[in-house]
Amino acid sequence: MQKAMKKFPIVLSLILLVVMLGCKNSGNKGTQFKSDLGDSSDLKKTILSGKVNHSNNSEIILISDQLADTSMLDKTNQFSFTINLSVGRYFILRNGSKSIRIFLNPGDNLNVEYDLNDVINSTQFTGTGAATNGYLKEKSQRMLEQSIYLSHLYEVPEKQFRYLADSIYVMGKIYLEAYKESHPELSDLFIEQEQVALLYDWANQLMEYPRLNNQSIPIEKGTYFSFMNKLDVNNPTLLNIYEYKLFLNSYIAWNTDEQLKNSSNKNEDTYEVSLIRMQQTNKLITNEAVKNYLLASILKEQVKYFGYKNTELLFEVFEFNCTDTKLKKELLIPFQRYKALLVNDKAPSVTFVDVTGQTFTLDNFKGSYVYIDVWATWCLPCKRESPHFEELSRKFSNKNIQFVSLSVDEDGKDWKEYLTTFSYAHNQFWVTNPNDFLKNYLIKTIPRFIIIDPEGKIFDSEAFRPSEPDLKWFAGLPDKRAI
């Protein structure tokens, strides 16, 4: 079966025949799954153990929607988790930036070994639950093999797109059915959830096409969106399924785009778009758990990619409409810390070194304003701002302000090597504990620019960029000789 998958484009016409013959949809609006870890009386001891080769991170994390546990890798990079389950569910196993998706049934004793240099192909499962997770591995491999082909899916005309999308969906169902027949030990729950995953993966592609295609012929919305009759946007028991959550976000994104088409303002900022997505969520989603997930997802995405700036209204909408106390606490506490940085609080301490290894803190610059450039050698936007930062440091060298670049590279050697090819007039330092620094200053994206006042307090935790400077502010600073 796997060899046939590699000939994917060739067999599309054969698969379409199956579509035309009326392949039944295995997913439906009535699909329901238990969404929690189960009743205490039904709990079974479940073990996940394994080994991670070529790992540089001593921690490995096991995550699901309602559980997160951490294990330490031993000297041989082995780990073990013991949890109690009464229902099967998906988990993410994460070490550093790499992760794999697994499924655990109550009572499983699963062992997994993989290499971080080639996670998908190196992963091997043994023990109880190996067949279930072997399917997930092969599914990931098939997705990777098809990725180049699928990248062009949204570029083709509508009729051809539907042909391809429907064919991919049917192909996935045929593969699952064949795997189930050769592995009868797979649980009914896992099969049902994978059938739902295939359905919503297909639905997500259909939902994304109107947003991403560049065809000049408009889509007939009434006919095209008839596939929505097979779906349920208010089913909280499906929130454990990744493809369902992906579809929900695409569904809200499409409705947001439709609203934006009728807007008089065609240049909305990202936070304004996120606000409209929240409004669409409140309008279209009636189930509390699904609504909570989407509101949090929209907020997390905004903060992750654009930081906390201009998110006050987003957090107000989230706090007012979210009914999940745990979720509210998770997102609101960091936001409260961010707001504290905006009210002239003392700047959190940070230690950094120069190229000679001499140690400095912000106290070394007390008595002057400090304009800080937070950057890294791998950050292209940071490098684009660097010449502007350098120009400002020269232009306002007579003012009572210090220009300080703080590198947050994980390895100081990268920073030091980078500096050997450039000459700078302003102060260049490497932060000795970049993760703590980023956390304390709630920095989600770089470059980031911060202004500290002469007393060592936060003046602006998200200051203007050097490429778009407030020259009047610089010009209004006192001269150095006047201090």
* Residue 166: Cβ-neighbour burial (10 angstroms; 0-12, 13-18, 19+): buried
**Domain with 411 in it: what CATH number?**
3.40.30.10
Q: Which of 87, 122, 138 is the endpoint of a domain?
A: 138
Q: Which of 138, 162, 197 is the endpoint of a domain?
A: 138
Residue type at 476 in one-letter notation = G
Write out the residue range of the structural domain in which residue 390 sits: 351-478
The set of residues, in sequence order, having a beta carbon less than 8 Å from that of 344 and lying 6+ positions away, is: 453, 457, 458, 459
pLDDT, residue 40, reads: 52
pLDDT, residue 340, reads: 75
> Residue 6 — φ and ψ, nearest 5°?
-70, -15
Structure tokens at 201: 């993966």
Average per-residue pLDDT in the chain? 85
**Domain with 79 in it: what CATH number?**
2.60.40.1120
According to DSSP, the residues that pair with 451 across neighbouring strands are 371, 460
Is 447 contained in some domain?
Answer: yes
Q: Which of 90, 108, 138 is the endpoint of a domain?
A: 138
Is 483 contained in some domain?
Answer: no
Residue type at 193 in one-letter notation = Q
Instruction: Convert the pLDDT of each residue in 367-420 to its tens digit.
Output: 999 999 999 999 888 989 999 999 999 899 899 999 999 999 988 888 988 888
According to DSSP, the residues that pair with 457 across neighbouring strands are 346
pLDDT, residue 66, reads: 67
Residues of the chain where predicted confidence (pLDDT) is lower than 50: 1-28, 30, 32-39, 482-483
Structure tokens at 254: 């499409």
Structure tokens at 98: 């790499």
Cα 83 → chain centroid: 26
pLDDT, residue 156, reads: 84
pLDDT, residue 220, reads: 78
- Strand pairing category for 109-115 and 124-127: antiparallel
- Strand pairing category for 351-353 and 427-431: antiparallel
The structure tokens 């890798």 sit at: 73
Structure tokens at 355: 């190229």
pLDDT, residue 471, reads: 87
What secondary structure letter does DSSP report for 455?
A: T
- pTM confidence score: 0.72
Cβ proximity of 104 and 190 under 8 Å: no
Residue type at 34 in one-letter notation = K
Instruction: Convert the pLDDT of each residue in 359-370 to its tens digit.
Output: 999 999 999 999
Is 323 contained in some domain?
Answer: no
Torsion of CA 246, 274, 440, 345, to 10 degrees: -160
Q: CA-CA distances (angstroms) from residue 319 to 342, 416, 444?
A: 20, 44, 21
Structure tokens at 186: 């797979």
Is 110 contained in some domain?
Answer: yes
- Strand pairing category for 401-407 and 427-431: parallel
Number of domains observed in the structure of the chain: 2
The 3-state DSSP class for residue 248 equals helix
Is 84 contained in some domain?
Answer: yes
Q: CA-CA distances (angstroms) from residue 41 to 47, 169, 188, 443?
A: 18, 38, 21, 44
Is 438 contained in some domain?
Answer: yes
Q: How many residues belong to the chain?
A: 483
Is 423 contained in some domain?
Answer: yes
